[in-house]
Chains A and B, each alone.
Chain A
C-alpha cells in the first residue's frame, strides 16, 4: 500500500514519457488522475493511521532487499509515520491541485505530455524521499527530485536563460548532495547502518564530534536543496521554469526537503549543539537575506522566490532550535505550502492574463479584471504576512516565540531577527500586492513584452510584439485550485493550532518540549502585529500613496545590491569560478606533464607490442597450425614438468 503511493505516479511518469505522441491528447488527464489517485491512497492511509493510538501509528513495509551484502544491508523499505504522513498529504494534495491548474496553464504548450510526465516523476521521487526508512533510499529520492527539478526548470530549454538556470540549479545542488553523501558515509562508519531507526536510536552513544560532523554535512545537504545561504543562488533563477513548477517544487514541496531532513535527523542534531547553532545561524541569515532580495525584485516570481527563501529560513531556524521547534518548523512548512503555492498560482494566473509579463512595474490595477485571482492572492498575502487569524499568523508566531525561548543572548538575537523578518515580509508582500492589483493601469502605456519572456503560446491571437495586453480572468480549471489553496491559507493554521492538535500529532516522532520564553506569549503576539503594521505601512507609503514609476529608479546601494541578489553571483564568480579556474589550470598542467606522460608512455608500449604481435597473424593456415602445434608441445611439456617438480 505504501509502495503504491510511490508506484502510482512513477507509473504515470513512465507511461507519459515513453508513451509517445499517442498520449499527447489525453496524457495530461492521465497524469492528473494518477496524482489524485496517489492523494486518495494517502488519505486512506491517513484515516487508517488515525484509527491507531498515537504510539503505534508508524507503518513499515519492506519491498525488497536492494543490496544484501554481509555488513551492508540496503533495503528498499518504507516507513510511514506522522511526519511522513504530513508530507505525503501535502505533496499529493498540493500536487494534485497543481496538476489540475497545469491542465489549463499548459494548454497550448506543445510539450504538455512531457511536462506532466516530469511532474509525475517529481511526485514519485518526492514521496520516495519522505517515505524512505533509511538514508540511502532517501538519497535516491533526493536525487530524483533534483533531477525532476532540473528537467522542469529547463522545460523550455530553447530559451538559453532557462537552460542556464537549470544547469545552475543542478550544479549548486551537487554541492549539497555531496554533503548528504558524506553524511551517509559518516553514519555508516559510525553506526554500521543507515536505516533511520538504528541510527537515530543510537545517536546518543556516538561521540559529539562525529555527530557534529554528520549534522554539518546534513545541513550542507539541506542548504543545497532548500536554497539556504550559502547555496541559495539557484532558486531565483529557477523561476525560469513554468509557474506551476515554481509553485509545486520551488515553493511548496521540494525546497522544504531540507527542513524534513533536519527534522528527521533530530536525534543527531540534539546531540550536537554546535551543529544546531550553525543551523540556526544559517536559518536566521537566510531569513533576512531572502526578505531583502524579495523587497528589491520587480519580477513577481523572483520576489516570491526571495520570500520562499526567507520563509524556509524561518523553518530551518525553528528546526535548529531542537525539540522546542521541530513541530513548529513542520507546521509552518505546511501552512507555507498552502499560501505560497496559492501565491505562485495567482502570479501564474496574472501572467496568463498579461501575455506572460512578469515585471510588476507593468502591472497595476488588475483587481477589476481578475477578481478571483485578486481575492485568492489577497488571502494568501494576508496569510503570509501573518494577519491575525490566518494560517501564517499561527505558524510564524509560534516560531518567533520559540526563538525567544532559545534563551540567553542567542534567544534575544534570534527573536529580534524573526520579528524583523516578519516586518520585512509584510513590507515586500504588500509591495507585490499594491504593484500588481492596485494603482494605475501601467500596462496600458508600455506594452512591450520583456525580451527574455518569449511567447509560449503562439496560438493566442492577442500575442504580438507590441500588442497591448487584455487582462482577463483565468479559466475555471486554474481558479479552482487557487480557491482550494486559499481555503487552506485561511483555515489551516487555526485548525493546527486548535488544541495544539498538530504538535500532539507530531510529538511521537519529533518529540516536543515547551519552550520557556522570557517574554510572554501575548507580548510576542503584540510585537508581531506591530511589526506587521510597520511593514505594511512602510510599503503603503512608498507604493500605495504615490504612483509607481514604470521604470525602476536607481535606488540606493543596498537596493541595487538586493536587485542583484545581494551580489551572490558576483561572489560565486570571484571566489569559486576564478579560483576554480586557477586551480584547474595548475591541475591540467600537472595532468599533461605527469599523468599524461605516464599514460601515453604505457599506451605507446602496449600499442607497439600490439603492432608487433599482430604480425604473427599472417593469414596462413600453415603457420597457425604450427603455432597450435608449438603451443601443444609447450603445454604438454609444462604439464609434465609440473608433475616432475
Chain B
C-alpha cells in the first residue's frame, strides 16, 4: 500500500503542465504539502454507488429483518438510478467529448469511453438488481417469500443450521450491498488511469463477486465450489497483474498510463537514479505489459485464461451469473481498451500478433467446445467465451472505429446476456432451475412466449440480422477488417457459423421436439424479472433494427483522454 500513499501525497493536481509525475513532484515538494484536489462532480457516479453500498451495509446491520429487503432494494435502485443520472448529466455537459479530463489527481480518466461504459454498467446493475430481488420463483417458506440466495450462507450445506434457516424463511439481503460494491469497482475499472487504481478497482469488484457466487440457495456445494475456484484462480490472475505492474514501474518509473506511454515513445526519460539500471529495459516492458494484459484477459474469459468461466457460470446463482457475465465483460474490456490504446500504443507491433492468436483461440475454442455442452448455463458460458473472442477482434482494430464498435457490442451483448440468464431462472422443476438441456425439449409448446423470447436472445447471440447481435458483430468485424485484420474476420465468421449451430440447436430443441413427460414448468415471475427480460428483448430488437443512433453515440465516445 505504500504506492497508494505515495500517489496520494505527491499528486499536485492536474495543472496545465499535464500529469504530475510521481517523482518529479516529490523531488521539489520538500517544504509544503499540497491538499489533494478531488473533482467530486466528475467522480459522482462512483461516489454515489459506493455511498449507497456503505448505506446498505448499515441497513443490514441495524434495520430489523422485516424492512431490510425493501430498504435494500430501494437504496440499491435509487443509488444506481442517481448514479446513472449523474453519468447522463456529465455526458450532457460535454465531459465525454470536449471536456474530457484526468481526475482524482491522475488516478482516473473521465472521458467518452468511461462515461459510455459507466452508463452501460449502471443499467446492467439496475437490471441485475431486478433479477436479484426476484422473490416469486422459489416456494415461500414460513410465510415469507425468498429469493435465489442461500438462507444462511454461513451454515454448513445440508446441515441442521441450514435447515432451520430455510424453514424460518431467512434471506440474504447482503447481496444488495455486495452488488453495489461490485458495481462501484466496475465503474472505476475502465476509468482507471494508473496501474494501481486498476488493481484496486479489480479487487473491489472481484471480492464481492466471489462472495456472491457462493450464495446459491439450491445446489450449495456446487455454488461454493465455484466460488472457491473463482477466488483461487482470480487471486492467481491478480498476482499476474500486480507483478506486471511492478515490472512496468521498473521500466518507466511511474504507474501512470500516459506517463508510461511517454516513456515508451521516448518522449520522456525518467530521471530517478534508483531505477537507472532498469529504466528503458524493453524486456521489463514487454513482460510487464503482457502480464497486465493477462490479468485482464482472465476477467474477460479469453482462452487460455477461460477455464474458470464454465464452472463458475454453472455454480453461481443464476441472477449473479447473468450480472457477472454482462458487467464483468463490460468493465474488463473497458480497462483492456484503455490499457492497450493509452499505455501500449507504442508497442502495437508487439502485442497485436499475440492478441491475434488469443482472439483466434478464444473465438474457435469457445464455439467448438460449446457444441457438446448439455447444460444451458455452461452453454452460455462457452458462448460468452466465443463473444470475448469477437470483442477482441474489435480491440485489435486499433482505430477509433475499433473502440466505438467494441463499446456498442458491449452494450448490446450485456442486455442479451442478462435477458437470457433471466429466462434460465424461470424454467424450473422440483429441484430448482432445470438447466439440463434435455429438460428444455418442447418448451416452445408448453410456453410459447418464453421460448420465443429465449429464441430472440439466442438469435442475437448468433448474430442474425435484425437483432443487436448482428449490428454489434458487423461493427466489430468491419472495424477489424479496416484495421488490417482481414484474416481474423474470416476466422470470426467461421466461429460465428459454428456458434450458430449450437444456438439454433437449442431453438430446434425448444420448438421441434416432443416435450418430456416430467418436464419443467415455467414459473410466473414478478414484474421485476419480467421487466428485465422485456428490457432485454426491447434493447435487442431496437439495436438490431435501428442501430445507427447508438453506433453514433458510441462513435462520439470513442476517444480516450491521455
Chain A contact residues, CB within 8 Å of chain B: 68, 603, 606-607, 609-611, 613-614, 616-617, 619, 621, 623-625, 627-628, 630-632, 634-636, 638-640, 642-643
Contact = CB atoms under 8 A, between A and B. Distances in A.
Nearest to A65: B548
A283 to B, nearest CB: 39
Contacts of B283: 640
B308 interface: yes
Nearest to A645: B353
Interface stretch (B36-44, B81-89, B226-234, B453-461): B226-234
Given A607-B372, A610-B369, A639-B287, A628 B354 contact: no
Interface string B274-297: 000000001100110111001000
Contacts of A628: 233, 236-237, 298, 304-305, 307
A625 B368 contact: no
Contacts of A642: 349-350, 353-354
B60 interface: no
Interface of B: 228-229, 232-233, 236-237, 240, 282-283, 286-287, 289-291, 294, 298, 303-305, 307-308, 310-311, 349-351, 353-354, 357-358, 365, 368-373, 498, 501, 548
A441 to B, nearest CB: 51
Given A631-B305, A642-B354, A636 B236 contact: no
29 contacts: A68-B548, A606-B368, A606-B501, A607-B372, A609-B368, A610-B368, A610-B369, A610-B372, A613-B369, A616-B307, A617-B311, A621-B232, A621-B233, A624-B233, A628-B233, A628-B307, A630-B304, A631-B294, A631-B305, A632-B290, A634-B304, A636-B287, A638-B354, A638-B357, A639-B289, A639-B354, A640-B286, A640-B287, A643-B286
A621 B290 CA distance: 23
A627 B307 contact: yes
A609 B228 CA distance: 29
B291 A636 contact: yes
**Chain A interface, DSSP helix/strand/loop, else mixed:** helix
**Chain B interface, DSSP helix/strand/loop, else mixed:** helix
The 5 A-B residue pairs with the shortest CB-CB distance, nearest first, are: A631-B304, A624-B307, A610-B371, A610-B372, A621-B229
B308 A624 contact: yes
B410 to A, nearest CB: 23
A613 B368 contact: yes
Contacts of A640: 283, 286-287
Given A610-B371, A621-B233, A624-B308, A643 B350 contact: yes
Contacts of B350: 639, 642-643
Contacts of B308: 624
B287 A606 contact: no
B365 A613 contact: yes
A642 B290 CA distance: 12
A609 B353 CA distance: 25
A624 B229 contact: yes
B233 A625 contact: yes
Given A636-B291, A638-B357, A640-B286, A617 B369 contact: yes
A640 B347 CA distance: 12
Contacts of A613: 365, 368-369
Nearest to A631: B304
B302 to A, nearest CB: 9
B377 to A, nearest CB: 14
A528 to B, nearest CB: 53
Given A625-B236, A639-B350, A617 B357 contact: no
Given A617-B307, A621-B228, A635-B358, 5 more contacts: A610-B372, A617-B310, A625-B233, A638-B353, A640-B283
Contacts of A624: 229, 233, 307-308
B351 A639 contact: yes
Contacts of B370: 610
A636 B372 CA distance: 31
Contacts of A632: 240, 290-291, 294
Given A613-B365, A614-B369, A635-B294, A625 B287 contact: no
Contacts of B298: 628
B232 A625 contact: yes
Nearest to A611: B372
Contacts of A611: 372
Contacts of A619: 311
Contacts of B286: 636, 639-640, 643
Contact of A643 (B228, B282, B291, B307): B282
Contacts of A610: 368-372
Nearest to A607: B371
A638 B286 CA distance: 10
Nearest to B282: A643
Contacts of A621: 228-229, 232-233
Given A613-B369, A628-B236, A603 B501 contact: yes
A635 B357 CA distance: 9
Contacts of A617: 307, 310-311, 369
A426 B372 CA distance: 72
A375 B212 CA distance: 80
Residue among B357, B371, B373 with the highest chain A CB neighbour number at 10 A: B371
Nearest to B240: A632
A614 B354 contact: no
B233 A636 contact: no
A624 B370 CA distance: 18
Given A617-B310, A621-B228, A635 B354 contact: yes
A64 to B, nearest CB: 10
Given A632-B291, A632-B294, A640-B286, A627 B371 contact: no
A623 B311 CA distance: 13
Contacts of B303: 631
Contact of A606 (B282, B305, B307, B498): B498
B225 to A, nearest CB: 8
Contacts of B548: 68
A607 B308 CA distance: 22
Nearest to B352: A642
B403 to A, nearest CB: 22
Contacts of A603: 501
Nearest to B304: A631
A619 B229 CA distance: 9
Nearest to A619: B311
Contacts of B228: 621
Contacts of B357: 638
B372 A614 contact: yes
A157 B311 CA distance: 50
Contacts of A643: 282, 286, 350
Contacts of B282: 643
A214 B498 CA distance: 40
Nearest to B295: A632
A142 to B, nearest CB: 20
A619 to B, nearest CB: 7
Contacts of B289: 639
B290 A635 contact: yes
A632 B236 CA distance: 11
Contacts of B229: 621, 624
A643 B308 CA distance: 31
Contacts of B372: 607, 610-611, 614
Contacts of B305: 628, 631
Nearest to A634: B304
B247 to A, nearest CB: 11
Contacts of B310: 617
A621 B240 CA distance: 17
Nearest to B548: A68
Residue among A621, A638, A639 with the highest chain B CB neighbour number at 10 A: A639
A261 to B, nearest CB: 27
A621 B353 CA distance: 29
A610 B370 CA distance: 7
Contacts of A638: 353-354, 357
Residue among B304, B305, B349, B365 with the highest chain A CB neighbour number at 10 A: B304
Given A624-B229, A639-B287, A643-B282, A606 B371 contact: yes
